[in-house]
Amino acid sequence: MHRLLERQLKRVLGLDAGQWPRLADKLRDWADQVADEDAELARGLFGLPQLLERVSESYAQQDRDLTLVRRSLELSSTELSTANERLRQEAKAMSQALATLQWTFDALRQDAEGEGEARSDDLVTMAGQIVTLTREQERIREALVKSEERFELAMRGANDGLWDYDLTSGKVYYSPRWKDMIGHAPDDIGDSLDEWASRVHPEDKAGALAAVQAHLQGETPHMEATFRFRHRDGHYLWILSRGLAVRDAAGQALRMVGTHTDISQRMELEHYLSQFKRALDEHAIVSITDVRGNITYANQRFCDISGYTREELLGQNHRLLKSGMHDAAMYEDLWSTISQGRTWVGELCNRAKDGQHYWVLATISPVLGNDGLPEQYIAIRADISRIKDAEKALLKAKEAAENANRAKSEFLANMSHEIRTPMNGVLGMLSLALDTHLTPEQREYLGLARTSADSLLHVINDILDFSKIEAGRMDIHEEPVRLRELVDELARLNGPRCREKGLEFSAEVDPELPEWLMLDPVRVRQVLVNLLGNAVKFTTTGEIRLTVRRLGFGMRFAVRDTGIGIPREKQAHVFESFTQADGSITRRFGGTGLGLSISNQLVRLMGGIMGVESEPGQGSEFHFLLPICEPKPAAKPEGAGAIVVTPERRRLHILLAEDNPINQKLAVSLLSREGHQVDVVGDGEAALAATDAGRYDLVLMDMQMPVLDGVAATRAIRAREPAGVHLPIVALTANAYEDDRDACLDAGMDGFISKPFKRAELMAAIDHALGQAATAHPAGPGGSATT
C-alpha cells in the first residue's frame, strides 16, 4: 500500500496498515452477510478494499510520474548548459575564423595585387573575393605543380637531384632522384636539414655551409659547393651542389632551391688527370701555345729551366727561347709538320733568360679542333743537356781513341818494319849460308837456326795480322784466281811435309766449280796454310785431305785430318784469340793460339763462315764457306794465274834502292845468283839520279829510305818518264799494311813484296812486274835486257 494512503488511513481511520487486510476481509464478510439485506451496502462493503487498492496504485503512479518529470527537468537543464557552452565556443571560433579569414584575405590580396586595397569588412564581399582569390590561388598552385613536375623531369633527365629548403619552416624537400643518388627509396628520408648535414663528409661540411651562408648573405650570385656525400652503403660520392635563394621584396631569403649532381666519375678522372699531370710536370718541361706560338701554359719545370717566371712566359711567343743554334730550315720543318696536324719530334737548343743554352728533346703535338685544324700546340720536352754534354765528351773520347788507335797502328807499322828488316837479313843470310860448303855439324846448326827464325817470323806475322784485324786495317783484295792452281800450290807445299811425318796427303777440287773465281788469293792461302799447318801439327798417323766442293751458291773448303781431335766443350772456343784446346797441348805442340782466330776473321771479312767438326781421338774437320763469285770475262788475266812462274828468265839490269847494308848484300847476292846485274843506291834521290843516267830493266825500291822515300822517288820517276816508256818498279817493304801496298800502286809501282822474302818470292814478284808492265806498256824498256 502506498505510504501516503497508509498515513491517511491512520490519520482518518486510526488504522495501521497491518490491520487493513484483516479489516478488508471483514468488510467482504459483512458484504456477504448483508448482501441480501442491502445490496447497495453489500456492494459498497465489498468494493471498499478495491477502492483503497486503486487509490494506493494511483498514489504510486503519481509518484512515478513525478520522478519522471523531475528527471526530465534535470536533463533539460544539463543539455541547456552544454549547448550554451558549445555556442560560446562556436562563437569564439567563429570570431577567430573571421579574423583568420580577414588575414588570409589580406594576404591573398596582397599576393595577387602587390599593393593592399582598402580593407573590406563586408563579409559577403570578402567571401566573394576570397572565392575568387582561392580559385586564382588554385590555378597558380596547379601551374606551380606542373612547373615543378617539369622541373623535376628536367632534373631527372639531367640526372640531378633536387632540394628545396624552406628557411621559414626549416623543412627541406628532397626529390626522389636526390634520394636515389645515395641509394635511398623515396620514402626513406625525412624532410629535415639534418638528413643532408649528417651525410656530408666531416672534412667538407664547413666549406659547404660557408658557401650556403655566403649566398644567403648575398655575397655570391649563387651557391656552389663540392663535397663528399655518404651513400647508404657507406661509400662517399662526390657531389656538386648548386642553389639559388628565393627572396622576399625586402631581399630576405625565404627558400633556397638547388640541385645535387653526382660528379664522382669526373672527380675520379680529375684525380687521375692531376696525377698524370703531376707525373708529367715532375719529369717533363711542358708548355702549351696557341696557333701563333704564344704561350698559354707553362709548367714549373719550364720556368725552372728557362729562368723565366710564369707571368713572364705567359702571352710571350715561344721564339723568346730561340738560341740561334738552328737554321731556318729546321724551324720551317717544325712548323709545317705541326700546322699540318702531325707531331714533330726533335732535339732543340733553347736559350734561358740568363743567356745560357740548354738542350731539349721536344715532342710537339697539335690539338685539333672539330674542323680538323690545330687549335693549340702542346710541347713536352726532356732536358737532354747532360746527354748532349756526355755526347760531346764521348765524341772527344772517340777522337782520342781513334788517335790512340792511329798511334797504335803507326807503332805496329814501325815495329813491323823494325822486326821484318833484320828478319829479312837473318833468314836471307841463313839461306845464303846454307847454300855454301858446310860441315854436317854446321849445316845442322844453321838448319835449326833457320827453323827457329821461320817460327819467329810466323809468330810475328800472326801478331801483326791480329793487330791489323783489330785496328780494322785488314783489307780484302779480290782478283780473278784459278782455284785449282791455288790448291795445287798448297799440295806442293804440304805433300812433302806430310810424307816426312808419314802421313798421306790428298787435295781435290770439285769439277763443278768454275775455273776462275773472284778471291783474295793471299788471304784464302793464308787461311788454308793455317788449317793445313794445324792438321799436320796435330796428326801423327793417317791422312790429311784438302777438298773444295760446290755447295749451292757457295764453295766449301775443308781440311780433314785423323789427328788427336778436339773435346766437344772446347770446340766452340778454338776460334777465340789466344785460345788453345789444352794447355798441355800447347807445350807439346807450341803456337800462339791466334791462327784460328785470324783465319775465322779473315773468312768473315771475305763474306763467309767457318766451323769445325771434331771427334777426340778420331780427327777434325775445319771448314769454311765462301760465296761463289765469277769474274767478268774481261777481268780474266791472260797469264797462268795468281803466281806467274816463268821457267826461263832473262838476265836483267836491276837498280836496287835500299838503305840497309845487310839487305843490300842479301838482295845483290840473290839476284846475282840468278844472273842479273845489280846496281845499288842508298836513298830515293840517288835512285832518281841513277834512273836518269842509266837504263834499267827494273827497279827494286825500298819504301822507307833517307832523303827521299820509295813512294816519292817512284812518283818523280813516273813524272819524268816520256810517253810510252814505263820502267817496271817493285816495292820492297817491311811494312805489312794494305794501305802501303795501295800507296805503292798509286805512286805507279808495278809490284809489291814484303820483307822478309824468300828467293822464289822475290823472283816471282820480278816476273810478275815485268809481265804487268809488258801487258800495259808493250813499248816498254824490255829491249834493254842484257840477255
What is the smallest separation between the CB atom of 582 and ligand ADP, expressed in angstroms? 6
Site membership for ligand ADP, residue 593 (CB under 6 A):
yes
For 223, the grid coordinates are 651557391
| Only segment of 53-61, 199-207, 245-253, 594-602 that touches ligand ADP (CB under 6 A) | 594-602
| Only segment of 376-384, 511-519, 589-597, 718-726 that touches ligand ADP (CB under 6 A) | 589-597
| Only segment of 53-61, 392-400, 581-589, 748-756 that touches ligand ADP (CB under 6 A) | 581-589
CB neighbour class for 24 (10 Å; exposed up to 12, middle 13-18, buried from 19):
middle
Q: What are phi and psi of 756, to 5 degrees?
A: -80, 140
Question: According to CB under 6 A, which one of 379, 546, 574, 731 is a site residue for ligand ADP?
Answer: 574
DSSP classification of residue 118: P
Site membership for ligand ADP, residue 503 (CB under 6 A):
no
Say if strands 161-166 and 751-754 run parallel, antiparallel, or are unpaired: unpaired
Query: Which residue has the closest beta carbon to ligand ADP?
Result: 591
Question: According to CB under 6 A, which one of 225, 239, 596, 730 is a site residue for ligand ADP?
Answer: 596
Question: According to CB under 6 A, which one of 56, 350, 580, 664 is a site residue for ligand ADP?
Answer: 580
| Only segment of 293-301, 576-584, 752-760, 770-778 that touches ligand ADP (CB under 6 A) | 576-584
| Only segment of 30-38, 184-192, 286-294, 578-586 that touches ligand ADP (CB under 6 A) | 578-586
Nearer to ligand ADP, 258 or 563 (CB): 563
Site membership for ligand ADP, residue 563 (CB under 6 A):
yes
Task: Report the distance separating Cα 595 and Cα 363, nearest Å.
Answer: 52
What is the smallest separation between the CB atom of 559 and ligand ADP, expressed in angstroms? 7
Question: According to CB under 6 A, which one of 238, 377, 538, 557 is a site residue for ligand ADP?
Answer: 538
Per-residue CA distances from 116 to 37, 106, 140, 247 (Å): 108, 7, 20, 20
Residues 618-647 that bind ligand ADP (CB under 6 A): 620
Site membership for ligand ADP, residue 595 (CB under 6 A):
yes
What is the smallest separation between the CB atom of 465 and ligand ADP, expressed in angstroms? 12
Site membership for ligand ADP, residue 498 (CB under 6 A):
no
Question: According to CB under 6 A, which one of 195, 383, 561, 767 is a site residue for ligand ADP?
Answer: 561
**Across the chain, which distance is largest between two alpha carbons, in Å?**
237
- Would you say the C-alpha torsion 733, 737, 740, 745 has a positive or negative sign? positive
Question: According to CB under 6 A, which one of 585, 605, 662, 690 is a site residue for ligand ADP?
Answer: 585
Contact 562, 545 (CB under 8 A): no
What is the smallest separation between the CB atom of 431 and ligand ADP, expressed in angstroms? 25
Task: Find the angle CA(127)-CA(133)-CA(134) to the nearest 5 degrees.
Answer: 85
Site membership for ligand ADP, residue 564 (CB under 6 A):
yes
Q: Is 65 helix (H, G, I), strand (E, B) or coil?
A: helix
- The number of residues that bind ligand ADP (CB under 6 A) is 23
Nearer to ligand ADP, 521 or 591 (CB): 591
Site membership for ligand ADP, residue 591 (CB under 6 A):
yes
| Only segment of 373-381, 493-501, 559-567, 747-755 that touches ligand ADP (CB under 6 A) | 559-567
Q: Is 45 helix (H, G, I), strand (E, B) or coil?
A: helix
What is the smallest separation between the CB atom of 610 and ligand ADP, expressed in angstroms? 11
What is the smallest separation between the CB atom of 769 and ligand ADP, expressed in angstroms? 33
Half-sphere exposure of 589 (CA within 13 A, CB side): 20
Question: According to CB under 6 A, which one of 259, 350, 409, 534 is a site residue for ligand ADP?
Answer: 534
Site membership for ligand ADP, residue 592 (CB under 6 A):
yes
Q: Which residue bears the cell 680529375?
A: 270
Amino acid at 571: Q
Nearer to ligand ADP, 505 or 538 (CB): 538
What is the smallest separation between the CB atom of 618 and ligand ADP, expressed in angstroms? 10
Per-residue CA distances from 398 to 30, 386, 449, 669, 730 (Å): 179, 18, 45, 49, 38
What is the smallest separation between the CB atom of 594 and ligand ADP, expressed in angstroms? 6
DSSP classification of residue 288: E
Q: What is the distance of C-alpha 53 from the center of its chain?
A: 133
Site membership for ligand ADP, residue 161 (CB under 6 A):
no
Residues 76-95 that bind ligand ADP (CB under 6 A): none
Enumerate the H helices of 217-360 as residue ranges. 264-283, 300-306, 310-313, 328-339
CB neighbour class for 146 (10 Å; exposed up to 12, middle 13-18, buried from 19):
exposed
Question: According to CB under 6 A, which one of 126, 223, 535, 743 is a site residue for ligand ADP?
Answer: 535
- 48-55: long-range contacts, CB 8 A cutoff, minimum separation 24: 48/24, 49/20, 49/24, 52/1, 52/5, 52/9, 52/20, 52/24, 53/1, 55/2, 55/5
368 bridge partner residues: 374
Nearer to ligand ADP, 220 or 571 (CB): 571
| Only segment of 20-28, 163-171, 343-351, 575-583 that touches ligand ADP (CB under 6 A) | 575-583
Amino acid at 391: E
DSSP classification of residue 782: G
Q: How many DSSP H helices and E strands does the chain contain?
A: 23, 22
Q: Where along the sequence are the contacts to ligand ADP (CB under 6 A)? A: 530, 534-535, 538, 561, 563-566, 574, 579-582, 585, 591-597, 620
